[in-house]
Every structure is written in structure tokens, then in C-alpha cells.
Chains A and B, each alone.
Chain A
């Protein structure tokens, strides 16, 4: 159910790693659990992010939660369209709802799609 070819963090974020760059976002499970997203506090360009640590905060109708970075590195690009339309994440968390592009120096303990699906199944039991 989760797309192949990208890596998943157990804190429900994903990274599409291409060479030294990784596009990062939250998973479909995360957006579903959060409900309608009303705001995302985007990291600044050039900010350092660390795998397993919060890189931004996301607010939904239900909760305010940290977004846990799946990778370590420097923020090279932010999806500034989310400033005005954070709700774009809900229908398209792996596409238009991407959050940042990070130049990576390391990554967390990441899962492939099948392992993440299995992890979600386990969690729900």
C-alpha cells in the first residue's frame, strides 16, 4: 500500500534518496492519523536535521506533533507551497505534500515499503 522505492522511518516519515539528496515527507498513515492538517512549521533553508529528531512541527485538527527526520543532513529546499496550503499533504503525502529536500550525510534505521507495511500491521494489533 505504501509506495516502493522510498524508505520509511518508524516515526511515520519517508525519504526518497537520490544520490546525496533525499526528499522527505510524512507517510499516508501519519496524515490519516493526524486528520486535516492546518499548519506546518517548515525548517529554514540551511538548517541541520538529524535522523530520529524533530525537524518541524505539524498541526492538525486533532494534534500538534513533531515531524521526525528520517535522515541527517542540511535542508536544501523547502516546500514553501505548504505555507499557504498545508492541507495539500492530506491527499498526496508522497507527492505534492513533500516537506523538504535534504543533502544527506547519514540516515536513520529505515525500512522498505514491505517492512513498513508489516510494521504498521504489527502496531495496529
Chain B
């Protein structure tokens, strides 16, 4: 059986490898570089930058840790970017190596669906070929959304793609949109020394997170002197030669050297021949799929960002595996109820399961346990006392429904809560699991204990 995968991001490449492992003959088509947005323009390069900026931030407080600095600490953007590029290229080579090892054929060009499960590939060298396959997976991802009101030129008005290749640190930056991307970049630019203003239309930053998470990150922005303006809309953007004037519907003008537009992602579903073949798309251009990742056309599957939804690399990978397994005759469905997510602001944010406003909307009766980082010995030892652990459990069954961690290593700490939710464990199960001391993970145990008012390191309520 043969499979063609269009797109080699975390959805496509994982589907390709899984299908190859299950015995399919796989061809994967990529028009830019393997690894997709995640590896080339998203998760990995930004985390490489954040590694530099958080070290910079630590270096600025060396004195706090009892270390004398004989000299100064300053960011060298050229070197920071070079390090990031090297990390990306190493990872790209890794994926190419995996393809080779699993016998997956990589075609570099643009794929387009034709009738009868044929894919036409316009190769990057100008030639074109057609390949027939028993099944096709579309995994073409998403790109920064373009809205005409924001004249993105890649020089003054940027998307995250452009921010990743900046050669100079801007003195000031206005970021439109306080979602995950906007917030991560706000902290990156601030640590590098830029004056940052974030403009958000909604009442809070990171509006899809628990409200207490948004409140804490808003305060951390205030501490770092990142100006966050919520419930504020941009009415006009005026690009001058050396600065940008952002006119607001309800507030004074914001003047900054550059603008980063992070107001959403557009689905890469055009130019694929979807209409011609009859693959159904939704109103935003996302490809419509069922729980088995099947489109309405037999043998044509779609996974990842192009199907809309969560726009998370690990969701795309999970969907890729589901698609590959279904293609190979295993009947499996995607389960979206327990997908952890991490946001690499300073401090980190991680969440899994339900948020406070969701349980409220759903009318579920819950108990909440809360524990502060500053109540942990380890947090003091490493000098990271900001943040909290929060567990939401069902009042009746005590099952863990949601967990939210803001603080150092939150992205690591969250996973035991994911295991708990996935397996229907209770807050008491978490609380009675012995956690190693001294670790940050103890905080999640204490939060679980606090669900029933039993946290050892909290005063009597």
C-alpha cells in the first residue's frame, strides 16, 4: 500500500514515519524545509531564543546568587540568531535522517491533488511529476494571518516569521495580539532590551487560559515593564520612515520602532486542488475531518493546523499517528480531552484539561486546590518563587478535570496532571503519590492536597 503525505511539519512527518513503521510505502512532499512551522519558524527557534534571553535575565541577577561579575552582560543578537539557526539545521538533518532510515521518499516541491488519488508535484527544480497513491494525508499547516489593516512588510511591520530573522534589536516594539505568540515575543523582546507594548482586543492576555493564569502573567508583564493594554483595538497603523504610529480606538497613540502582528493563523489549504477534487473545507478554509482524520473523500486524510482546532505541534503529531493507523486498518479515534499545552513566557505556563471559566460555563461543581511556588523550598533555592499550581477536581467524584501551572519548569511539571486526567485519577490519587523532595513537582502534590484543605505547607483555613 502506498501513501503520499503533503507537508512535513510535526503532523506530516510523524504520520509518514508511523505509516512507514506499519509497512506503508511512503512519499512525503515538502516545498520549503522539513519540520514545518514548528521546527523552522515556531516552537524550536523561539525556544532557542528564549534559552538565550532567560540566561541573560539570570546573568543580570548574578549578584543575587552571590556571584560577582567583572564586566558587563549584554545580548549579541547575531550570535543568538546563529545559535538558533544551528539548532534548527541540526534538527532538520535529524528528520531527514529518519526519513532515510525508514525508507520514506522526500520530494521537494509543491503537491496538488488531482482526480483519482493522484498527486501532482511541482518540484522546486521546475519539473513536475505525478504520483498515484492508495491514500493521501494533507498536512500543510498554517501561516501568520494577514489582515489588510496591518501592512506587513517584513521590515517595520512583522509577523513572527520575520521576528525570527531580525538582525538588530528594536528599541521599541508594539505587539498586536496577546495570544501565545504575542506574549512569548513580548518577553523575548523585553529581555533583549526593547520597550514593549502589547495591544489586545479581548479583556485579558491569553484569553484561552484559566483566568488566574492571565492575571498572573499580566502582573509579571507589569513587573518587567511590558505595557499590556487590554480591551483595546487598533484603528490605524501609520508606517513612517523610522517608526510606526499605532492609532487606537480607545487610547493614546502608541509610537514604536517596529510592530509585530500576532493576531492568528491562516490555514494553508489553497492551491492544493481541494475544490477540484471535492475535499470539503470550513468557513475559514480549514479542512473538515472526522475523529479518524478522514476528509469527505475516501482515502484522503488531513491532520494538524490545516484542519483548524488547537494549532499545537503535539496535537498535529497525535493526529498524524491516528491517520496513519487508520490507513493501516486500525480503527482509532482522536481524543482531544486531555492535551497539555505550554507557553514559554517568563515564567512558563502549562495547562491541561478544563479552565475555571469552562467548568463555570458547563455548570460542573468543582473543588480547587491552589499552592504557591513561594511556599516551596526548592523554588527559593533556585530563586524562582513566582507562580502557582492549581488543580480543579470534580466535587462529587474528585477526578482531576484541569491543572494549571505558572512558574519555573511549568512545562515539565504539568505532565503528571495529564496522566491523571487521561486515566480518570482523583486529586487524592495525586496527593497520595509520594513526590521527591526538594522538587518543583511537590507543588502539584500540595495543590492536590489543598483540594481537600489538606496541604501540609499551608496554614489552616
Contact = CB atoms under 8 A, between A and B. Distances in A.
B365 interface: no
Interface string B352-375: 000000000000000000001011
Interface stretch (A59-67, A70-78, A104-112): A59-67
B86 interface: no
Contacts of B385: 38, 61
B432 interface: no
B219 interface: yes
Contacts of B437: none
Contacts of B375: 62
Given A62-B374, A64-B372, A57 B219 contact: yes
- Main DSSP-derived SS at the A contact region: strand
A63 B223 contact: no
A39 interface: yes
Contact of B219 (A41, A61, A62): A41
A39 B223 contact: yes
Interface residues of B, number: 9
A41 B225 CA distance: 12
Nearest to A39: B223
B380 interface: yes
Interface in A46-87: 57, 59-64
B380 A63 contact: no
Interface in A5-50: 38-39, 41
B171 interface: no
Interface residues of A, number: 10
Interface string B215-253: 000010011000000000000000000000000000000
B335 to A, nearest CB: 36
Nearest to B223: A39
A4 B427 CA distance: 51
B378 to A, nearest CB: 14
Given A61-B380, A61-B385, A41 B222 contact: yes
A63 B374 contact: yes
Interface string A96-123: 0000000000000000000000000000
A57 B380 CA distance: 20
Contacts of A57: 219
Nearest to B379: A61
A124 to B, nearest CB: 15
B222 A61 contact: no
Contacts of A59: 374, 386
A88 B354 CA distance: 41
Nearest to B222: A41
A52 to B, nearest CB: 21
A17 B386 CA distance: 35
Given A38-B385, A41-B219, A41-B222, 15 more contacts: A39-B219, A39-B223, A57-B219, A59-B374, A59-B386, A60-B374, A61-B374, A61-B380, A61-B385, A62-B374, A62-B375, A63-B372, A63-B374, A64-B372, A64-B374
Interface of B: 219, 222-223, 372, 374-375, 380, 385-386
The 3 lowest CB-CB distance pairs between A and B, nearest first, are A39-B223, A41-B219, A62-B374
Interface of A: 38-39, 41, 57, 59-64
18 contacts: A38-B385, A39-B219, A39-B223, A41-B219, A41-B222, A57-B219, A59-B374, A59-B386, A60-B374, A61-B374, A61-B380, A61-B385, A62-B374, A62-B375, A63-B372, A63-B374, A64-B372, A64-B374
